[in-house]
Amino acid sequence: MAVAKLIGIETEYGIISGGPESDPITTSTLLVNAYASGLAHHIGWDFEDESPGRDARGAPRPGSLAPMVETHLANAVLTNGARFYVDHAHPEYSSPECATPLEAVLYDRAGEEVLRLAMAAAKERYPAAPEIVVYKNNSDTKGNSYGTHENYLLSRDVAFVDVVAGIVPHLVTRQIFCGAGKIGAETPVFDEVPDYQISQRSEFFEEIVGLETTLKRPIVNTRDEPHSDAQRYRRLHLILGDANMADVSTYLKLGTTALLLAMLEDGALPSDDISLRDPVKAVRSISADPTLRCCVETEGGRQLRALDIQLVLCDATAKYVESEGGTALGDTSIAADVVRRWQETLEALEHNPDSLISQVDWIAKKRILDAFQDRHSLDPGDSKLRAMDLQYHDLRPERSLSERVGLERLVSKEAIVEATTKPPRTTRAWFRGSCLARFPQEVVSANWDSLVFDLGSDPLRRVPMMDPLRGTAEHTEQLLREVRSAQELVARLET
């Protein structure tokens, strides 16, 4: 039986301030601190259990570079259960653990709102400084890429080698409905430079499996840092995806991947010949072909389009949800909805891709680029078009182009604003966020799987939260209502 597919999504945002001479680490730190200083009480991150160098394949590989944990940069835990901090040279928002892909869309959009509030806070605090502007994209168009990482809760019972074999065909081909699109190419991997790519990230991937995130990026990351009970769970960390502006793209990216992972646990993945002979080459060639006609070779020697592989996966998933209900997605109606939208999207990609202008980022962006180029008779490499490519992802409503293309919205503005401070009720993020809101003086630090309380005279008390499915509103709302102090809460938890 598949475990609940809790989902988290982390976004490293692009950031600029004034000219190229500005230091992105300083700018990102100003931005995060401007937001954090406006909160009731700034609660830091607890690095006690961080181990990003642990490899799911066992012993560390020779020459592998584990990501660094930077403890000195700005770091805040938010009452919605998220983490907002400076990672490398970018502001990063890591969403709280969410129980459904729709909830994950909401908390991803809440992250955009947090960044907008942070831009406003920085402007207010440093009125004379150059404006800080944030972009939700994955490349600077000059060969530098930054990530949007997905996390899924998995059962420890599935062997990692099966995870890789099972999910790679999907990861390579799903970009046709969740790519964010971009003009041209930034790496020397193509024999012929494409005019337009479906995905921002695909060309940066060089390995099938690996631990690195900044060099030799792998399609499946092996970081084995479950942030939960390692006997029972894995956290699958995927670094391949694009940051999406379109809700439907995010929803389908997370929903389809989560369902296929549940099927992997239940032994329900299709046995068709869809494993790819060269996944790294395939992910790039699919990205480089917005006509969706290019074929990639399977292990069995067949030539298939990305759409053909997606149709196989989608059909198998529809059957699985019909027979099993798809309860791993938190709600059977969500699983059915993901399948329905997936089917409709593939159908539209086959027959009328332009009809997806409100649902799929790479199509929306391409449509406005083509039309703008026509109207002004521009050369394909014109800097106005390149500016549009970036400005599609500008988070300022007055500048954002994605705000203007009429994207279909799955979550309301009101719900997004509420989600910037209120945690999801259905995971341990609820306990984390609620304790932060309720006891801002006593919670001295937090991380994904514990909270640290300072109760005065005693040593600091760590409250472990090793099961991401506990600490929900259902489990702890009553308790939090009953206790009158943090001391009483910790005492009750220890009995």
Q: List the catalytic residues.
A: 87
Sorted by sequence, the CB contacts under 8 Å of residue 481 that are 6+ apart come out as none
Nearer to other proteins, 161 or 371 (CB): 371
Percent composition of the chain: helix, strand, coil (DSSP 3-state, to 5): 40, 15, 45
Where in 173-202 is the site for other proteins (CB under 8 A)?
Answer: none
Is residue 209 involved in binding other proteins (CB under 8 A)? Answer: no
Sole binder of other proteins in the list 40, 159, 161, 371 (CB under 8 A)? 371
- H or E segment and range at residue 349: helix 332-351
Q: Which is nearer to other proteins, 12 or 442 (CB)?
A: 12
Least Å distance, CB 64 to other proteins, is 15
Report phi then psi at 490, rounded to 5.
Answer: -65, -40
Binding mask 84-123 for other proteins (x = CB under 8 A): ---xxxx---------------------------------
Q: Which residues pair with 238 in a beta bridge?
A: 150
Distance of CA 25 to the CA centre of its chain: 22
Q: Is 27 left (phi over 0), alpha (psi -120 to 50) or beta?
A: alpha
> Which residues does 63 contact at the CB level (< 8 Å), separation at least 6?
none
Phi/psi of residue 437, each to 5°? -70, -40
Q: Which of residues 251-310 bind other proteins (CB under 8 A)?
A: none
Tokens of 408: 């279909």
Query: Which one of the spans 76-84, 124-132, 134-142, 288-296 is the region binding other proteins (CB under 8 A)?
Result: 134-142
Smallest gap from Cβ 354 to other proteins, in A, equals 8
Contact stretch for other proteins (CB under 8 A) within 82-90, 117-125, 191-199, 316-324: 82-90
Cβ proximity to other proteins: between 187 and 441 the closer is 187
Positive/negative CA dihedral, 438, 440, 445, 448: positive
- Site membership for other proteins, residue 16 (CB under 8 A): yes
Residue 242 in contact with residue 201, Cβ under 8 Å? yes
CB 312 within 8 A of CB 270: yes
Region binding other proteins by CB under 8 A among candidate stretches 263-271, 289-297, 378-386, 424-432: 378-386
Query: 93 with 115: CB under 8 angstroms?
Result: yes
Give me 73's structure tokens: 């940069």
Site string for other proteins, 346-365 (x = CB under 8 A): --------------------
Helices (H), 126-184: 160-173, 175-178
Q: How far apart are CA 174 and CA 483, in angstroms?
A: 47
Supply the minimum distance, in Å, between the C-beta of residue 107 and other proteins: 20
E strand or H helix at 463, and its extent? Answer: strand 461-464
Q: Which one, 75 or 100, has the nearer CB to other proteins?
A: 75
Q: Return the number of the residue (141 or 327) whose C-beta is nearest other proteins.
A: 141
Count of residues near other proteins by CB under 8 A: 46
Give 387's contacts (C-beta < 8 A, 6+ positions apart).
Answer: none
Per-residue DSSP letter, 270: -
Which residues ranging from 384 to 403 are in contact with other proteins (CB under 8 A)? 384, 386-388, 390-391, 398-399, 401
Q: Which is nearer to other proteins, 130 or 464 (CB)?
A: 130
Binding test (CB under 8 A) with other proteins, winner from 231, 271, 291, 383: 383
Minimum CB separation from other proteins for residue 47, in Å?
A: 18
Of the candidates 492, 428, 424, which has an alpha carbon nearest to the alpha carbon of residue 104?
424
The interface mask with other proteins, positions 142-171, x = CB under 8 A, is x-xxxx-x----------------------
Residue pair 181/164 in contact by the 8 Å Cβ criterion: no
CB of 130 to other proteins, least distance (A): 11
Which range, of 11-19, 191-199, 275-283, 436-444, touches other proteins by CB under 8 A? Answer: 11-19
235 touches 227 (CB < 8 A): yes
Binds other proteins (CB under 8 A): choice among 33, 80, 213, 244: 213
Which position among 1, 19, 62, 377 is part of the footprint of other proteins (CB under 8 A)?
Answer: 19
189 class by beta-carbon count within 10 Å (0-12 exposed, 13-18 middle, 19+ buried): middle
Residue of 33, 94, 139, 298 that binds other proteins (CB under 8 A):
139
The encoded tokens of residue 84 equal: 């907002």
Among residues 367, 409, 425, 462, the one that binds other proteins under rule CB under 8 A: 367
Q: Is 211 in the site for other proteins (CB under 8 A)?
A: no
Binding positions for other proteins, 427-446, rule CB under 8 A: none
20 in contact with other proteins (CB under 8 A)? yes
Burial 456-467 (b: 16+ CB within 10 A, else e): eeeeebbbebbe
**What three-state secondary structure class fits 392?**
coil
Tell me which residues touch other proteins (CB under 8 A): 12, 14-16, 19-20, 24-25, 67, 87-90, 135, 138-142, 144-147, 149, 213-214, 239, 367-368, 371-372, 375, 382-384, 386-388, 390-391, 398-399, 401, 404-406
